[in-house]
Chain A
Amino acid sequence: MPHSTAHLSRRQLLLAAGAATLTPAWAQSGWPAIEQAARGQTVFWNAWAGSEQTNAYLQWVAQQVQASHGIKLQHVKITDTADVVKRVRAEKAAGRTAAEGTVDLVWINGENFAAMKREGLLFGPYAETLPNFKLVDVTGKPTTLNDFSVPTDGMESPWGMAQFTLFADSKRLPQPPQSMQALLALARAQPGRITHPRLPDFHGTTFIKQALVEFAPDAKALAQPVTDAAFATQTAALWPFLDALRPHLWRAGKQFPQNAAAVRQMMADGELLLAITFNPNEAANEIAAKRLPTSVVSWQFEKGTIGNTHFVAIPYNARAKAGAQVVANFLLSPAAQARKADIAHWGDPTVLDVARLPATDRALFQTGNLPGLVAKGAPTLPEPHASWVDPLEKEWARRYGV
């Protein structure tokens, strides 16, 4: 009997000691302590910066957190989130300790998140301790807890929604195709006017994933980690479809543009019929910025298109962990989410459950009827598991990439 008590108490001691080293003192005393510690910190937020709207929104966030919490938020402009993953990984390999990193907050999702989570490069779990997390629509938007079918486990906090959307000039394309099969028919009718970015650009990958989801015999198997057998079965119908599509693509499928921006530019110039995006409001943004004519419409396939959530995460060696958490919390506030969802500012859909918000907050989310918005939303299909991406890209490259 005495032996077991001693054993237990030692284990308890060890656990307590372990917990104490893993979580800083302030985390144990609650949110007000975090806000206190965050005051005066500088948070380096590494986020993709390819569009003015995103950059302008981030500037607004910086002003808000400076005024309300005394945090200096610096937007570190990056072209590819994989750079941040590599940087944090290199810092860990070079022995940077838990408070010497150069990245405090990173805009992330998908396989980048899966890699960081797997390699222990993230700080957390923290997301569910954020006060505003309770406003997130976890039931209606399951992807806020499952990122490419990988559970987030609170290691990243949701920020916005994305859904695979297409847009085209209705004057050149009066009948938008409503499925991949319809797209193939359109390509046959007007050859050389449709294409997607070259894989492994993520828009191109999503195009293939959408086709995969539409042609896979058992969509649920895609939520499981990939195996050779599963891959062979699920993609059996995909490759014949792509083979049939290829000769009717732009440049007969022998060349692919580098990224979605190039596709959009070609669509604007009239060389292509349609363009693809992850932001359902992108076309409306471009029209408002007078870069696309008002006759452009957006749509999603009738039966649904792949959608996901994008998040913010904190690396294990961030210097301003408290500040980063305060910023993440602010991003989940109704005011910030509403402004983000507003076409006039960015138009990125919200992760919050708008219906459950108090009336004053709900009013912030009014959407007008602007040209280019998706007229009829379609269901969001879940992303395949993150492990499916690599084999898909490799097989595509082997078949069509040379």
Chain B
Amino acid sequence: MTLAVHIHRLATRDHTLVQDLRFEVAPGRILTLMGPSGSGKSSVLAAIAGTLHSVTEGSEALRFDGAVTLDGRDLTRLPTAQRGIGLLFQDDLLFAHMTVAENLLFAVPAGPKRERLAAVAQALDEAGLAGFGARDPATLSGGQRARVALMRALLARPRALLLDEPFSKLDAALRDQFRAFVFDHLRDSGVPAVLVTHDAADVADPSLVVELGRAG
């Protein structure tokens, strides 16, 4: 399941954010996308996931010229829901009206109830949050919420995963711990991942780094 991205041009009406960007990510590998603020990192992720229109509601629309292929399949024309690409935002965005377990359950694909519940329980265990299922997400700490968000993204069995500065909201100690947690799970799950950050310490694989220039 290789993720191949080619961005010919990502631009607003007035100026171009990104031009001629190409990269490939093999299964289980993590590509790091770096660059200063304003260089369009989040927009690149949005273009890959197909959520461009949502991200730019109200401001000028972004136009994307290029191709996204996953395992040889061209995803460029597909709506977000059909791409199978997971997205982890900076904010954990746990749904406020659902408990932790319901948030996780939301992501599990359809199937027999018992199996779904078992998958959720296992995910909680792996995140070290066993017994937190019935809790209101607002009562969890930042680190705990970040873990739940990641598990939620993984439970949906994505074929690729995009992470938008997932560690920026955590303090230094928690950062290292969580980073190791994320990289381990990603490698185990065997999906290609793209990580956006401006912190060099977040690089997972030094051979897979792409630098985005300043806004042109």
Direct A–B touching in the complex (beta carbon < 8 Å)?
A: no
| A interface residues (Cβ-Cβ under 8 A, vs B) | none
